[in-house]
Each structure stands twice: as structure tokens, then as C-alpha cells.
Amino acid sequence: MSTKIKQFQVQYGLVSDGILGKITINKLKEVLSIETDEQIAHFLGQTAHESGDFSVDTENLMYSVAGLLSIFKKYFKTIVEAKKYAKQPIKIANRVYANRMGNGTESTGDGWKYKGRGALQLTGKDNYQLFSNWIGEDCVKNPELVAGKYFFESAKFYFDTNHLWKYTTTVDDDSITKISKAINLGNANSKATPNGLSERIDKTFEIYQQLK
């Protein structure tokens, strides 16, 4: 059972079983103003993967020393340095997200305040401001709205602003791969393989088949 799907179902008066079935998919399509079955399949296939089947709404920054040295090696170059931050999510966020994406210095706390939230992990003060302009509510002042009220909407904002809908006219391995690369690697034409590609493909096809 998915927490975020159940919350959506309760909000819109559907059977609240937490299962992403055809009725719920079509309601999401309606609420988010997504036009086609192909588009909603791509959208939900990607967001399902990125959010742990709609159970995670906020970035997990509980990294060990090894994790910091591997994932954030740009910011942690020595074991001694990593030990000062390991398993301290607030400190980690403020370090790795400082002075970029509109965030201030490490001491401002912007990194933690504007950490990843929502179905596609909206991150950084600039992006929170752009999303606020898009949705018409101040998520810079209240960033938790992205994890709660606008869990799905923040992901649609990502699809809109990154022009991902152009890849959604069909549902096939090629289109799913392009969107996966755009989301995970930042470039739909990257030569690298995005993380979790096989799962993204499986989830997208599974959702698309439910609409047949």
C-alpha cells in the first residue's frame, strides 16, 4: 500500500486502498490536467520509481562516511572531513547544497530548508521559487507544501519546465529511456545508463497496461 496514493484517494473520495489502479490513475490524470494515457503512464512510471512507489516524499540525507565519500566526493575529500558530517542530515544538506540553486551559504540553513521534496525531489531555493510562481502558492515560505499538498504537482512542474512531454507520445523502451536519462542524468541524450532503468521501464509499462 502506498501512503501518497492513499492520501490522494482520500482527498478525492476514492476507495482508499493505497493501490494505484485504473480509477486512481484516471483521477490523477484529470486532477493534474495530463492529456493522454501515454503521458500519465510515463509520468507515474517515473515518479513511482523516484519516490519508492509513492512512499517517500522527502530526500533522505542520512549518509555514512562511505556514502559521503562516494556520492558527495566533491564536498567531502577526506575521511576526517566526512566523519564530521556523517549521519547528520541537516549538516549534510547545508554543506552539499550551499551556494547553488539559489541557496545561501552553509550557515544560512537553506540547504536543509530547500532539500529535495515531492515525487521528483524538487531541490534548491530557486526551484522552490519557480514552483511557487507556477502553482500560485508560496512554497519558499512553506517548503513542506511540496512534500504534502503538492507532491504530484511539483513533479508535473518538473515535466513541464524540462519539456519532457515531447518524449511521451508513445510508450516504448526508447521513450522511457530518454525520460529516465533526462530525470536521472539531466540529459535525455546522455550515453550513460540512468539508475534503475529496468524498473522505470517495467513500472511505466505496468501502468500503461492498466489503462487498456
- DSSP-assigned states of every residue in 60-88: -----HHHHHHHSTTT--SHHHHHTTTT-
Q: At what angle do helices 22-31 and 197-210 cross, to 10 degrees?
A: 100
Torsion 164-132-200-54 (CA) sign: negative
- The Cα–Cα gap between 6 and 100 comes to 35
Q: 117 phi and psi, to 5 degrees?
A: -140, 160
Residue with cell 542524468: 185
b/e 167-201 (16+ beta carbons within 10 angstroms → b): bbeebeeebbbbbbbbbbeeebeeeeebeebeebb
pLDDT per residue rounded down to tens, the chain (212 residues) = 689 999 999 999 999 999 999 999 999 999 999 999 999 999 999 999 999 999 999 999 999 999 999 999 999 999 999 999 999 999 999 999 999 999 999 999 999 999 999 999 999 999 999 999 999 999 999 999 999 999 999 999 999 999 999 999 999 999 999 999 999 999 999 999 999 999 999 999 999 999 98
pLDDT of 212 reads: 85
Torsion 20-45-202-38 (CA) sign: positive
Domain locations in the chain as residue ranges: 3-58+152-210, 65-113
- pTM above threshold 0.85: yes
Contact criterion met (CB below 8 Å) for 195 and 7: no
Give the CA dihedral 40, 34, 116, 171, nearest 10 degrees.
Answer: 30
Least Cα distance to 91 among 74, 119, 71, 68 occurs for 68
Q: What is the CA radius of gyration of the chain?
A: 18
β strands within the chain, DSSP E: none
